[in-house]
Amino acid sequence: MKLQRIAAVMVVAAGTLFVGSTAPAAAAIDGNLFDFVSKTVSGSFGQHLSVTVMCRNAGWKVVAIGATGATLTSMRPTPAFDGAIVTALVSVGPSVTATIGCVEPAEVANALHIEVRIRDHASGFRDAVERCPAGMIGFGGGGGFSGGDSNYLSADLVTADGRGWEFGGNVVNSGESTQLDLFCAPDDGSTFIVSGGVASTGFFQTVRAQCPAGYWAFAGGAYAANPDGSPNGNGFFTESQLVNGTTAWEVTGAAPAGGKLVAVTRCTR
């Protein structure tokens, strides 16, 4: 994937947009060179857990964030994109394991970084979507709330058109802001989106988005859908991560009967 040099971060907050200048340059993400790091945190039933896992090498950047174990409540990159913070509620299993895929800084240092901070005081379910500028793809994103947790995570994935990121969850405290972060890069056609879905039974199910032979998966995510395709605020996940030799993204969770459980990932060489 070719990345164009972007000189500054783009920040979206309360309707204000700041965009940095650009200059020509290029780099490539090589799926063979991802470095994966995992960390596990355990707790007691009903406890909210938080695990921070950092890239192994100084300056490396996270492009894939996955987790499994307990009920996932948020997954997002650290402010410097050098690791990830995953939160979970101990209701199914006693622990949560977060796994990240990191790349050398030269491969993404020239990508556009978007930060979204929505100061919405609504209680209950919130859904945030942010898209990259025209001609760019979204990857390496994640979302959560300013308090660092949520009651449920119903959507955390690249958008269906591949141009942005979506986060949906039930906020713990209505005074918290919704937060979403993602990378954007010019779309040169070298990466693409694959998805997998299953009609929900209302019980736990597993679904997988599999890249074709010769490709690696990254920047995947999970989605619990209503019958009309909108996010369902009562869906939840216990797994959203790379599997099958990092060639697929797997999701385990539940959505209300009549809806759909979806796994999505971006594929690269």
At 181-224, the pLDDT tens digits run: 999 988 888 889 999 999 999 899 999 999 999 998 988 999 99
Whether residue 19 is contained in a domain is answered as: yes
Kindly state whether residue 83 falls inside one of the protein's structural domains.
yes
In a domain, 99, yes or no: yes
On whether residue 35 sits in a domain, the answer given is yes
Hey, what's the torsion of the CAs at 53, 56, 60, 64, to 10 degrees? -50
- Asked whether residue 129 is domain-assigned, the answer is yes
Q: How many CB atoms lie within 10 A of CB 43?
A: 16
User: Residue length, the chain?
Assistant: 269
Cα atoms found within 13 Å of the Cα of residue 177, Cβ hemisphere only: 11
Rounded distance between C-alpha atoms, residue 127 and residue 117, angstroms: 12
* Residue 59, domain member (yes or no): yes
pLDDT at 177 over 70: yes
What's the pLDDT at 108?
83
For 52-78, give one letter per residue: b (16+ CB within 10 A) or e: ebbbeeeebbbbbbbbbbbbbbbbbbb
CB 239 within 8 A of CB 204: no
pLDDT at 171: 86
Q: Kindly report the average pLDDT of the chain as a whole number.
A: 85
pLDDT of res. 2: 35
pLDDT, residue 3, reads: 35
- Residue 29, domain member (yes or no): yes
Q: 141: closest CA among 199, 61, 201, 72?
A: 61
Give mean pLDDT, residues 27-53.
86
Q: Which domain holds residue 97?
A: 5-190
* Domain count of the fold of the chain: 1
Residue 27 pLDDT exceeds 80: no
Residue type, 246: T
Q: Which helix (H) or strand (E) element contains residue 117?
A: strand 112-118
Is residue 131 predicted with pLDDT exceeding 80?
Answer: yes
Three-class secondary structure of residue 132 per DSSP:
coil
pLDDT band at 165 (very low <50, low <70, confident <90, very high): very high
From CA 232, how far away is CA 125, in angstroms rounded? 9
- Is residue 232 domain-resident? no
Residue 51 has pLDDT above 50, yes or no: yes
With pLDDT > 70 as the criterion, what percentage of the chain qualifies? Answer: 88
pLDDT computed for residue 233 by the predictor: 87
Query: Dihedral of CA 129/130/132/134: which sign?
Result: positive
Query: Which pLDDT value is given to residue 98?
Result: 97
Confidence of residue 96 (pLDDT cuts 50, 70, 90): very high
CA distance linking residue 114 with residue 111, whole number of Å: 10
Residue with tokens 């939160």: 87
Of the candidates 143, 154, 152, the one whose C-alpha atom is nearest the C-alpha of residue 178 is 143
Residue with tokens 């009309």: 228
pLDDT of residue 26: 31
If you ran DSSP here, which 8-state letter would residue 2 be given? B
Q: What is the pLDDT of residues 4-21, one digit of tens each?
A: 323 234 444 443 232 332
Global confidence as pTM: 0.86
Average pLDDT over residues 124-140: 91
For the chain, percent of residues with pLDDT exceeding 90: 55
